[in-house]
Structure 1
């Protein structure tokens, strides 16, 4: 098992819980999303306990990249998050996670879920499901949340690496022109990506997308002002209507 978490106290707590189990062994620990992908592909653990609010790359991005690089059943990923609601659950499952819990989950709940995940099962709201059952549950849940939309699963598809990159620039207040210049792509391409981001997140504008990303921990607030290219000034959330 591998732990992906950047808070030492939480890592210590997870270690204490897991090391008391004879059938579980921690084979790796990392503290950011980029290293999570690298180490997961190197170690190939049976299960990963993954935080969402991570430096450099959030846990949903890391989950998606790991699952895209492996057969869907090879590595089970359990998402642990401080922000817990049904919509976040949908995003986690669409990214490829097998289970999703708040960080205050009890060991008596987490340990059976880890074992179920290692066995190739999914755990959703305390139900242990096979992959087909989990997909049907997800489809029904998303249809209920967005009953008037066509291709509802597409609206909960995980953001691509490029879309997540552009969302990060949006939270920094960058205009389409600035994003295009920094990423060396056309402004029309930026607009297309932003439209996809808004559609997938079910929000109306850039500000809502930025607030949602920060509130859910996909982008860390302490990183919003970092790594800015020359000219990327202005407020945290742009006011331009460049959708």
Structure 2
């Protein structure tokens, strides 16, 4: 299956570079481009798109507002969306994920990791940079009272020792490649264990896994 990708960025050179990178990866095809948020919203009507790579700061409406409008207009039928930006400030991470983004990555991500992230979100998962994960965790730790959810404790109790170890590493802000190096595993093995953990606890993506893990008490230890 070929994954159809749309690139939304106001810089021509960035779009050209991303197109070159993605079309060198097996199973990925760039089918559309846009240079601003309003054009991004209209992209959905131009043809089949599986994933949108969305910049944050653009003329007109920004990427976060474009995501809101896409989700409002198309709901579950909308393509998966990954924010790809140089700006990883807390407010962008949280507002982007709340608007309905399925991932948040830095433009410094490697071509292989970017391609893997696209495949992950199409498969129903999520993609978060280490900085975005840390921000998400911080949004929970900033709360004065963080109650432990007994249901989540029970769900996470189903994890194997290895799955739990990987979830703990993700909650600590580690990316798949970083975790793989620390645990002497392949990135594919780390992703497999992470996906199994998500299935067991009912998390749809990595962001939700972190949220659930924190409610199970992981972030308080």
Same fold at TM > 0.5? yes
State the alpha-carbon separation in 2 of the partners of residues 148 and 55 from structure 1: 39
Task: Say what the alpha-carbon RMSD is for the aligned residues.
Answer: 2.5
Residue by residue over 1:170-216, the C-alpha shift from the partner in whole angstroms, topping out at 9 and shown as x without a partner, is: xxxxxxxxxxxxxxxxxxxxxxxxxxxxxxxxxxxxxxxxxxxxxxx
1:147 matched to which residue of 2?
Answer: 144
| Greater displacement, 62-71 / 110-119 | 62-71
- Between Structure 1 and Structure 2, the one with more helix by share is 2
Alignment partner of 1:102 out of 102, 106, 110: 106
Q: Structure 1 44/148 Cα, relative in aligned 2: closer, same or farther at 3 Å?
A: farther
Q: Structure 2: 5+ residue runs without aligned partners?
A: 147-221
CA contact (8 A) 1:41 1:66 kept: no
Name the counterpart of 2:85.
Answer: 81
CA–CA distance in 2 between the matches of 1:147 and 1:46? 39
Ranges of 4+ aligned residues in structure 1 off by more than 4 Å: none
Kindly tell me the number of residue pairs found equivalent between the two proteins: 139
For 2:43 and 2:111, how far apart are their aligned partners in 1? 25
Q: Could you tell me how far apart the structure 1 residues matched to 2:52 and 2:38 are? A: 14
Return the offset for 1:6: 1.3
1:150-184 residue CA offsets vs partner (Å, 9 max, x unmatched): xxxxxxxxxxxxxxxxxxxxxxxxxxxxxxxxxxx
Confirm whether residue 124 of structure 1 aligns to residue 128 of structure 2.
Answer: yes
Which residue among 42, 49, 57 is the counterpart of 1:38? Answer: 42
Give CA deviations for 1:15-42 in whole Å, capped at 9, x if unaligned. 1111112311111111011111011244
Counterpart residue number, 2:7: 3
Name which one, 1 or 2, has greater alpha-carbon Rg.
1
Q: TM-score, normalised by structure 2?
A: 0.57
